[in-house]
Amino acid sequence: MNAPNAPAPAGPDAPARPEALLHLLGADEDVVAYFAGVADLDASDPASHLLEDGIQLASGARLEQFARAASGDAFCFVGEGGEERPVAYVSLDGEAGPLALGLAELLQLCLVAPWWRDAPGRTAGELRAVAEEYREDVPDLDRRRDRAARALGFDPAGLPSEAAALARLAELSRGPVAAACLVVGYGNEPLAPLFGTAPNGPRAGS
């Protein structure tokens, strides 16, 4: 149930405290254990969340890092506002692109498919193999996921399917959301897209 007058977050099951998700992501024990330990999304040390010089949005809008991967890749809010803002991923490998419309949608993606980084270019069978590897490495993954989901206010049974979450990634990689999340680096050169096909160029990761 949403707090009165609070903006409804993306996704079919809104968390109980839609404006507190970022705080829980960096402070709740069960949430940190899953997202930093399983999904490689660490929001527990805001002081380390600094984008490299020259990394910015092509539009000139605000690009605010709020979490990082172990590699140093950045999870960023796009534009002004709160947790309802689009989320872009900026890789140190020179790739960037939208992941979600709002923090709630991003967290649901990471809950159902923490291996989303391996999705581009892979077949359904290959993705199943990636998921199985994750489960072998983290045998209590489902328990940790469900505890994190409940701590965030999500009903584990109401989360989107893995297929739906990955299809949403592909959808966001096209059209106005991708344009709004276009990230440039030194020389104002656009970074390669995370998903899909770059204009007049090969697909990222190919």
Q: What is the pLDDT along the chain (206 residues), one digit of tens a residue?
A: 333 333 333 443 444 444 589 999 999 999 999 999 999 999 998 877 788 889 999 999 999 999 999 999 999 999 999 999 999 999 999 999 999 999 999 999 999 999 998 887 778 788 889 889 888 998 999 999 999 999 999 999 999 999 999 999 889 988 899 999 999 998 889 999 988 643 333 333 33
How many whole angstroms separate alpha carbon 149 and alpha carbon 23? 14
Query: Strand 192-193 relative to strand 95-101: parallel, antiparallel, unpaired?
Result: parallel
CB of 158 within 8 A of CB of 12?
Answer: yes
Q: How far apart are CA 20 and CA 40, in angstroms?
A: 20
Strand locations in 34-187 (E): 56-57, 63-68, 74-78, 86-90, 95-101, 183-184
